[in-house]
Amino acid sequence: MADQYAQSSEDIRPTGIPAIPAIRWDEPPEGPVLVLLDQTRLPGEESELVCTDAQALVEAIRTLAVRGAPLLGIAAAYGVALAAARGFDVDEAADSLAGARPTAVNLAYGARRAQAAYRTAVVDGAGPERAAGAALEAARALHAEDARASAKMAAHGLALLEELLPGGGHRILTHCNTGALVSGGEGTAFAVALKSHRAGSLRRLWVDETRPLLQGARLTAYEAARNGMAYTLLTDNAAGSLFAAGEVDAVLIGADRIAADGSVANKVGSYPLAVLARYHHVPFIVVAPVTTVDLDTPDGASIEVEQRASHEVTEVTAPHVPVLGMEAGGGIPVAPLGTQAYNPAFDVTPPELVTAIVTEEGVLSPVTAEGVAGLCAESRGGRVPID
Ligand SMILES: CSC[C@H]1O[C@H](OP(=O)(O)O)[C@H](O)[C@@H]1O
């Protein structure tokens, strides 16, 4: 069944990860800027969004021009460095960036890490310029750490797939977008699928479109095509029939926050996939860096799930209008005007439904509170306060 839905080979353009990096710091003569690949305009348009202050970055985060837990942390750290470099109030910038979206713990972690570097420099007698340099150094370090973590997660994840599914021919279902567009490297869950592809072991990447903001259709399909992967798009509500047909060997997803008990907050639609995977005896694998683990959040019920605007559900956009960032009424109504929609951006999967959590520190399975704590103990000596 999988092969009859394969896109034709000429559609596959193995041109590598996005030509424009998801994020980059630049220092033109008029002053430092943070340059983002505007993810609201993908896949049709690869355009850059230039942020000159933290407020512009907060808006870009809220409209998902920049998104995905690890990249949100990196962006927030650069945002604090940008505020420091341009003489704005660093604490105010860190607070507004940390609070831009509630669920991805990396966001606050990145902001606080750069803020802590700035403060430490000031306490050590550094002037504003050197202190700003310390914040930028912290952002660059986080960026590089995430790139290394991505490569390690890909290696650990592929080894797990080969253990669970010996002989290759992996048919992997993924949800939302977890590639280079969410990372300092090649991503989290997508990086595992990409490594499987490069090893000749990926038979099919099933890509959930991921309503309502279509990160799967717009972003994961874009990354899979650019990497020459065999992928097939599906509506979220078609996933169940794929499991029933025996077409899914493993589910690979990312995470936005992993609580101390191992509960996983991820894009809405992840929890139903976990239930389907359990019912059909398919491994449900979460791939996330340790920066996504939050020991200060005890369990899934304690995770704040972002609720987003109704119009993201009740309207679709015209081709030239970005999916995100539009005001209510900016799109084409698919429901009666005035319809209110339940639009949680994430859901929470309990640890007992998670086969394994893959981090740069290795594979945690089964998922236990002790194991989650152990991940952090190894990877993060000191802990930067994130709230
Ligand atoms: C590996 S982080 C990617 C993670 O972030 C996505 O959410 P959003 O697109 O709203 O930033 C989704 O939960 C992905 O799993």
Residues with CB under 6 A from ligand 1: 64, 67-70, 176, 178, 182, 188, 215, 253-254, 256, 266-267, 345
Nearest CA to ligand 1 atom 3: 68
What is the CATH T-level fold of the domain 156-378, as seen in this structure? Rossmann fold (3.40.50)
State the CATH architecture for 23-145.
Up-down Bundle (1.20)
Q: Cα separation of 243 and 278, whole Å?
A: 10
User: Buried b / exposed e across 88-122, counting CB within 10 Å, b at 16+?
Assistant: eebeebbbbbbebbbbbbbbbbbbbbbbbbbbebb
- Specify whether the CB–CB gap between 243 and 282 falls below 8 A: yes
Q: Looking at the predicted structure, is the pLDDT value of residue 160 above 80?
A: yes
3-class SS shares of the chain: helix, strand, coil, % to 5: 45, 15, 40
Are the C-beta atoms of 186 and 149 separated by less than 8 Å?
no
Give the global pTM.
0.94
Best residue among 64, 106, 194, 215 to mutate for probing ligand 1's pocket (most ligand atoms within 8 Å of CB) is 215
Looking at residue 327, what DSSP letter applies?
P
Distance from C-alpha of 26 to C-alpha of 34, rounded to nearest angstrom: 6
E-assigned strand segments in 254-299 = 257-259, 264-267, 284-287, 293-294
Report, as an integer, the average pLDDT of 361-382.
Answer: 84
Give the torsion sign (CA, 232, 234, 236, 238): negative
pLDDT band, very low/low/confident/very high, at 17 (cuts 50, 70, 90): low
- Judge whether 195 and 358 are in contact, CB under 8 Å: no
Q: Which token pair is 381?
A: 């000596």
For residue 384, which of 295, 260, 301 has the smallest C-alpha distance?
A: 295
What is the tens place of the pLDDT at every residue in 282-336?
999 999 999 999 999 999 999 999 999 999 999 987 544 555 556 677 788 999 9
Q: Note the pLDDT tens digit of each residue in 109-125.
A: 999 999 999 999 999 99
Q: Which of helix, strand or coil describes residue 375?
A: helix
Cβ contact 345:267 at 8 Å: yes
End-to-end CA separation in angstroms for the chain: 48
Per-residue pLDDT of 250-262, as tens digits, reads: 999 999 999 999 9
Report how far residue 175's alpha carbon sits from residue 209's, in angstroms, rounded to the nearest whole number. 7
Q: Which of 256, 294, 347, 387 is catalytic?
A: 256
Is 256 catalytic? The answer is yes
Domain boundaries, the chain: 23-145, 156-378
Ligand 1 geometric centre to CA of 366 (Å):
23
ipTM over 0.90: yes
Residue pair 157/191 in contact (Cβ under 8 Å)? The answer is yes
The pLDDT score that the predictor gives to residue 9 is 46
